[in-house]
Structure 1
């Protein structure tokens, strides 16, 4: 099941390239359009990290269900 952060990962290059080529098509130079596209992509990353950050809370809908069904939420996985 795809969640918010999966969509953001797909939108990062789309925002960078789409914004850059749209602005370049509107007559802005490529040297000016690339930083604007980068700022849009960085805004998506910042939103995904700080506004809707990843959560380990089991009540969050985007959080995947634990496969092992037990243990404390902060416990590291068993590497054996």
Structure 2
């Protein structure tokens, strides 16, 4: 089953290569097409990290007492 992060990992190189190639075919210089395509790829990464970031499914409880004594 394909999850969101699997799709993002697949879309990053597809967006970078596909958009750069498309813009190049449309007449943009390669030195312009690649930065524009990279903005889209970085946008995908940013969305995956900050908008729809990975979270733990179970909430964490308070830290347990590990038995260490303070050094006095």
For Structure 1 versus Structure 2, the TM-score category normalised by the shorter chain is 0.7 to 0.9
TM-score of the two chains, using structure 1 as the length reference? 0.70
- Show structure 1 runs of 5+ residues with no match: 59-71, 74-80
Larger Rg computed on CA atoms: 2
Q: Relative to total residues, which structure has the larger helix share, 1 or 2?
A: 2
RMSD: 1.8
What is the number of residues matched between the two proteins? 61
Query: RCO higher in 1 or 2 (8 Å CA, sep ≥ 6)?
Result: 2
Provide structure 2 residue ranges, at least 5 long, that are not aligned to the other structure.
Answer: 62-72
Tell me what 1:20 maps to: 20
TM-score (norm 2): 0.77
